[in-house]
Chain A
Amino acid sequence: MMLMLILSLSVLVAASVLLILSRDTLRLVVGLAMLGGAANLMVFLAGRPGSVLPPIIAAGAETLPAAANPLPQALVLTAIVIGFALLCFALVLIANLARQDARQDSDALRANEPVATDPIKPPVMEP
């Protein structure tokens, strides 16, 4: 079953990369979010999920019996929230970009790139 999960994660990473490399800004943002999700799952996998017992010390006990590894959970939990905030920020950002250029093409985002006559820097891409 672990093999199955690893395969799914590999497909997820490949799909995220393809989305990131496509020039549509929404796909780019979604791809980044998916890559973040994949990274979270990888960290979780590094903790060797297997036990169904949550890492919560039972009443009366002093320590954990065989329970899930708590450390990756703590790392992933904060990462999920931060990743979500990043996704919100990116969505607001591309919504703003849509005001300037309705094409939503990441290669067309050249407001801060040098002018065509610059002797060193690259010329402006043809629209």
Chain B
Amino acid sequence: MTADHPHAHAEGPNYLWAALLPLTAFLALVWGINQHALPWHLTLDWAPSLGLAATFRVDGLAAQMLALITGIGALVFIYASGYLAHEPRSGRLFGMLLLFMLAMIGAVTADNLILLFLFWELTSLTSFLLVGWKHEDAQARAAARQALLITLGGGLALLGGLILLAQIAGVWTLSGIVAAGPSLHADPRLSAALVLIMLGAFTKSAQFPFHFWLPNAMSAPTPVSAYLHSATLVKLGVYLLARLDPAFNDLPLWEFSLVGIGTLTAVWAAVLALRERDLKRILAFTTLSALGTLVLLVGLPSPGAGLAVAAFMFAHAMYKAPLFMVAGNIDHATGTRNIDRLMGLRRLMPWTAAVAVLAGLSMAGLPMSFGFVAKDVIASAKAESEVLALISYATVLVNATAVAVAGVAAVRVFWGPPEAPPGHVHEVPWSMRLPPLLLVLVALEFEFLPNLADPLLVAAAQSISPGLGAMQAATTYSFEGTLTALEITLGIGLLLFLAWDRLHALLHRVHWLDRFGPAAGYEYLLHAIPRLAAWQTRHLQTGRLSHYLRQTLAALLLMGAGLAVLSSATPRFDWPALLAWPPIAWAWALACLLILTGAVSALFLRQRIAVLMASGLIGYGSAVLFLFTGAPDLAFTQFAVETVLVVIAASVLPYLPAAKALPRPGKSLDYILAVAAGVATFMLLLHLAGMPENTELAAWFAAHSLPEAHGRNVVNVIIVDFRAFDTLGEIAVLAFSLLAALPLLAGLRRQRAMSSGS
């Protein structure tokens, strides 16, 4: 298998042309935005009988997501064609990337809640396949499974939340729910719905305590990380929260959860970033930090927060995707991502270094970068909404870490003396240089010509904060105060950067983080499930038939009792009918006597043949009853069966072990179960006898038997005509039972041959 040698120098197929698909979509999007005013609507019939329509809606926020999905998608496809040039299986990766892209497009354009959920889960599934692409690698498999379990688990919560929300609002579209807005607040079920939806969004966007799947997913190939884990997939949770925010942003539950969890995630991830040495994982932790910041911003109630979300989401994608590509280039060229072994790559990889510096500037939020604009908007949003001082301090720490990480990615690995210059290190091919460069240049252009990006950002912001006026948004670029805050942030960031190794050593010694963190909890749960299964298997599945029968019977009786209690139907005992003398009462009495005698003697007789014959008494009792209650067909059938049974029983018994008296049946527990079953039967039948009889079917059969089926014996007509299909199935079962018994009968014949031979 060549798959074991990803860097083998065989040329794999080149899939550069695949980039045409997202590129075309991107150009169509740009053209569409210029030609037709947002929002766009599309409604397709889905299941009209259920009142379901597949509704799609593209507003400012969706358009921004679409621009990221298709635009960055095109560049990632170009990048991947270079990154996977020597990979024979790259076709599959391109196929899955394409499928993922379609799922993302569906998820951000779907207006129907069920459609949204379906696309949401499809992104989880394709992401699982992409993260686990190197399926020979156990670590990649574990990471893929972890991402899948967490996001699908969250997806289930989301489904519950969406259904509940739709029931509360009475509409199945996102736009309808947002339009209903505050009128939903009074419903007591709303809190549950929102908690479930937040669970779905938090798992998708890797918020604390579900954050750990994202760094582990870094075992995916770099194009996947640059696309899924910086620009698109992980923003989907933030997208949904932002989408619903206009309806719920003045609910304390919503606001406090988003601000609290967002801040916690941002800070926690910033601290954990310092514990890492792997460049890609460091970037993943800062991505977590950014996602936390985004959730926090969505939670802020001020109208400016909408603009902050839109701007930061955009800025983050524009610098983080190039930085992931930088990490991929370094990995590709040197074979390592460990920052201890990377130094002075500037001369060897000048293009990559240039990208790193430009993207790093934006990440640090320095002036002259798009990141600066975003930071500025965020600062004004916070100023507007009177955030707690604690959150402000947290933000400074988070931003300072971003500065330090930008320093690591852009300065530390490229500057300084080349440490043990690896001879074979060389700059990567143009297909891996161009996409990140284009991204940082576009971001730079937006900084100098904000008019280009403004319409899209403002449109997106207005989807999140409908109260935001266009003029207000345009004048928000104020820069007041930003510079002072920037100085503080930069100062702390510089200190962090310089003290990186010492801080790392310090944090690395804190072992309890590994032992008691949420990731450890996940591992514990993952191993606890099979342990629990083993425990319950050992206790329930004992391999003894009598245990299974007892369990089944007890469960049935409990269910019956539960139903009886829950239905709270008053039992109706029709005593006159129960005590009335039927015609030919002596036949009833004889039938009862035969049945009782048969039942009791089958129980207490100690010889096998006697037990079998006693059970025959029950058949004869039934036959007597049938004969005198207008059921001659049944009586004849039952008599014939009992007669043949005698023959069969007599011929089978010699095969059973020699007559030894059977023990007394049952233990005390069995007697309890038996009495319970008897009592349950008694109550059920009493209740049944008291219910009004429904004679509709009987009357129908009686009326149609002769005119339509030309038969006077209604029972036979039902069997062979009205319910002929049932009868067909029954005699087929009969015949196939013989087929199944043939090997058993042959076994008996062999036994006979052996015993007569010996």
Contact = CB atoms under 8 A, between A and B. Distances in A.
Direct contact of A and B (CB under 8 A): yes
B602 interface: yes
Given A24-B665, A71-B718, A120-B534, 18 more contacts: A3-B578, A10-B682, A11-B600, A12-B595, A15-B600, A30-B612, A33-B615, A44-B629, A71-B698, A73-B633, A78-B719, A94-B656, A95-B748, A106-B545, A110-B543, A114-B543, A120-B538, A122-B542
A113 B543 contact: yes
10 contacts: A10-B685, A14-B599, A17-B553, A44-B626, A45-B685, A52-B629, A57-B702, A63-B702, A64-B705, A93-B744
Contact of A48 (B588, B693, B707, B744): B693
A50 B598 CA distance: 24
Contacts of B632: 54
B740 to A, nearest CB: 7
A96 interface: yes
A29 B713 CA distance: 34
A102 B596 CA distance: 31
Interface in B298-314: none
A70 B748 CA distance: 41
Counting contact residues on chain A (CB < 8 A from B), the size range is 35 or more
B23 interface: no
B322 interface: no
A22 B730 contact: no
For chain A, what secondary structure do more than half of its interface residues adopt (helix, strand, loop), or is it mixed?
Answer: helix
B618 A34 contact: yes
B675 A14 contact: yes
Interface of A: 1-24, 26-28, 30, 33-34, 37-38, 40-42, 44-59, 62-64, 67-71, 73-74, 76-78, 80-82, 84-89, 91-96, 98-99, 102-104, 106-107, 109-110, 113-114, 119-122, 124-125
A3 B649 CA distance: 33
Interface stretch (B377-385, B564-572, B636-644): B636-644
Contacts of A124: 543
B675 to A, nearest CB: 6
B390 interface: no
A30 B738 CA distance: 19
A62 B714 CA distance: 12
Interface string B623-655: 001101111111001100100110011001001
* B541, B619, B634, B748: most-surrounded residue (chain A CB, <10 A): B634
B577 interface: yes
Interface residues of B, number: 109
Contacts of B86: none
B599 A34 contact: yes
A80 B682 CA distance: 22
Contacts of A77: 633-634, 637, 715, 719
A12 B618 CA distance: 9
B718 A14 contact: no
Given A15-B599, A89-B741, A96-B748, A52 B537 contact: no
Contacts of A107: 544-546
A30 B611 contact: yes
Contacts of A34: 598-599, 602, 615, 618
B417 interface: no
A30 B602 contact: yes
A56 B655 contact: no
B678 A10 contact: yes
A99 B592 contact: no
* A21, A38, A77, A120: most-surrounded residue (chain B CB, <10 A): A21
* A12, A42, A87: most-surrounded residue (chain B CB, <10 A): A12
B671 interface: yes
Contacts of B583: 50, 52
A19 B602 contact: yes
Interface string B647-673: 011001001110000110110001101
Contact of A71 (B546, B595, B697): B697
Given A6-B578, A20-B549, A40 B622 contact: yes
Contacts of A102: 657
B545 A109 contact: yes
B715 A73 contact: yes
* A9, A53, A58: most-surrounded residue (chain B CB, <10 A): A9
Contacts of B685: 6, 9-10, 42, 45
A104 B656 contact: yes
Given A8-B595, A30-B615, A63-B702, A68 B534 contact: no
For chain B, what secondary structure do more than half of its interface residues adopt (helix, strand, loop), or is it mixed?
Answer: helix
Contacts of A40: 622
B705 A57 contact: yes
Given A50-B629, A92-B652, A5 B714 contact: no
B678 A14 contact: yes
Nearest to A46: B688
Contacts of A21: 546, 549-550, 553, 665-666, 670, 673-674
Contacts of A52: 583-584, 628-630
Contacts of B139: none
Nearest to A54: B630
Contact of B649 (A46, A50, A91, A121): A91
* A17, A22, A28, A44: most-surrounded residue (chain B CB, <10 A): A17
Contacts of B693: 48
B645 A78 contact: no
Contact of A22 (B589, B608, B670): B670
Contacts of A17: 553, 670, 673-674, 677-678
Nearest to B702: A64
B544 A44 contact: no
A21 B619 CA distance: 22
A26 B608 contact: yes
B723 interface: yes
B631 A4 contact: no
A41 B620 CA distance: 12
A82 B588 contact: no
Contacts of B630: 49, 51-55, 67-68
A85 B713 CA distance: 25
Contacts of B675: 14
* B582, B583, B630: most-surrounded residue (chain A CB, <10 A): B630
A80 B727 CA distance: 13
B446 interface: no
Contact of B537 (A41, A62, A121): A121
A13 B748 contact: no
A49 B713 CA distance: 17
A9 B674 contact: no
A78 B712 CA distance: 19
Contact of A92 (B578, B706, B714, B748): B748
A85 B715 contact: no
A73 B634 contact: yes
Nearest to B734: A85
A18 B744 contact: no
Contacts of B686: 6
